[in-house]
Structure 1
Amino acid sequence: MLLGGTAVATPSAAATTEPGSIGASGTITYPVENTSFPVTDLVFGTASESGDFKEEGPKITLAGEVLFNPNKDTLSTTADTELKRLVQEIQARNAREITVIGHTDNVQGSAHNQKLSERRATAIGKTLRKALGEDVKVTTSGKGQDQPIADNESDEGRKLNRRVEITVVK
């Protein structure tokens, strides 16, 4: 788990750096895995192909496949386990305010993806509000397909782009 700091890896950096080592600039570097799609820069903590959530500083990212069925905004049967882990992590950070941002790939049209990302963020937000109680402010929004973290030309890249990011504001 990464808590605090920035973890950055590029294909060239990963080849010469020991996993988890701290570079001269103070960044923790991890190797890039599963680079079967074009990668120019990959910032860890921003996606997970396995469905596990990744953490980077105040941001926690959940893979969309674990939370939702394709092109749906209702929670999948596997979402419960990940959301319980997420709630525990937010509670451990003593969060008082969080944001939930939904993201999609570019398979459907831009307007469709924007609405889908908003509905997905709202679904996660409702679950978090219920689990965390009134002491934690939860704000939701969607970015649609406008902020990809991987190439949308491959299945692997699109899979990484379908995600929900939770940021601890305070």
Structure 2
Amino acid sequence: MSKYSKGNRVFAFEGEYKGKSGEVIDYQNIEFGMQKGCIVKLDEDSSTVCIPERDLEVENLNLEDINIEITNLKTQLKELAHQIPEKIAKEIPEHLAYLQEALKSKSKSEFLNEYHYISKELERTVNPDFVDSNISLKKLQHHGKNLPEL
């Protein structure tokens, strides 16, 4: 059994994939010394690689990282504006700001409410694959799920 769960966001701080981040999608039985490997789908190019557990740590976003991911989402939404109803195109950036505030205040329930609204509206108006494959949304979701209950 791995110390990482499927769906965990991880960052490689050592080894061949140093500096890369991605999502754990499976485990590998090949042993690297005394530890097993994790199958990670890398953000950079969506390739799937096996990385020794000893080279990984859970990806933790700081406030600057959160701001970058929210800015990335806002940019993507501007590019998709022609696909989204005008009302939703105005509301989603507002809800991203609320999401950002929830993350700053570490309010897990507020975060989950805002994330749910944003992801459901994007699924409905853009397409379900956009939400499932969007790295910024995945990073924010992972960070928010790991907020402590208040």
TM range (shorter): under 0.3
TM-score (norm 2): 0.28
| Greater relative contact order (Cα < 8 A, sep 6+) | 1
Report the structure, 1 or 2, having the larger helix content. Answer: 2
- Of structures 1 and 2, the larger Rg is shown by 2
TM-score (norm 1): 0.25
